[in-house]
Amino acid sequence: MAQSIIITGAGRGIGKATALAFLEAGWNVGLIGRNPEPLQEIAKDHPNALPLPCDVADEGQVAAAFDKAIDTWGHLDVLFNNAGVAVLGTTIDELSVDDWRGLIDINVTGSFICAREAFKRMRGQDPQGGRIINNGSVSAYVPRWGSAAYTTSKHAITGLTRSISLDGRAFNIACGQIDIGNALTDMAQAMTKGVPQADGSIAVEPVMDVSNVVKSVQHMASLPLEANVQFMTVMASAMPYIGRG
């Protein structure tokens, strides 16, 4: 039986690149995203793809998506909890409460809802168990200028990862986190043109190809459940992270 994975934020960027790699490796892949068109475009050429359009912050929609995946495959091996957004960099006094709530709703609450549904399915299936991989960020450790909402959300993902990892032991559910820095996706295009630094300057930052992230997620997902990558940082080697600021 083919292994199965659900990927959130699968319509673009890291999610899309990862989905295509797992599809080409023969996995059954559930594609979660708010916009159905990119998911259907991926599925058009891949019969093992299952579009699951939904809003990750809507628990009813997410539950229905996971129900459809389980009804189709009968088993869930991995969740890549990847969906997330950012807001324009600004100091906290200029960050609107609406922007804060919108980001937290997707990055934190959405990740919680998807992990909750995956955990429930993995706990109840036979054989019991599975793996949850949360997409954190280097900002889970070191903030970028003007990133109060995003950095807070990624610190929360680390707490979620640690808690799921602990709670999952009794049910053979492993949970790890991949922290990514400057992978060249649409979100990171600004890095190639210049972004604010902690000293107030604007500087171009090194980036890396998204394939490096894909390979890292595949490695984490391919381990037997007796082993786990608890935290992995994959980043552009020369980006301002070690010693940022």
Positions annotated as catalytic residues are: 150
The pair of three-digit structure tokens given for residue 86, joined into one six-digit string: 């950012």
Contacts within 8 Å (CB) and 24+ apart, 88-93: 88/146, 89/144, 89/145, 89/146, 89/147, 89/195, 89/196, 90/146, 91/146, 91/148, 92/148
Q: Give the Cα separation of 46 and 43 in Å (integer).
A: 5
Asked if 183 and 212 count as a contact pair (C-beta separation under 8 A), the reply is: yes
Rg (CA), the chain: 17
Q: Give the Cα separation of 69 and 125 in Å (integer).
A: 13
Half-sphere exposure of 56 (CA within 13 A, CB side): 31
Asked if 115 and 40 count as a contact pair (C-beta separation under 8 A), the reply is: no
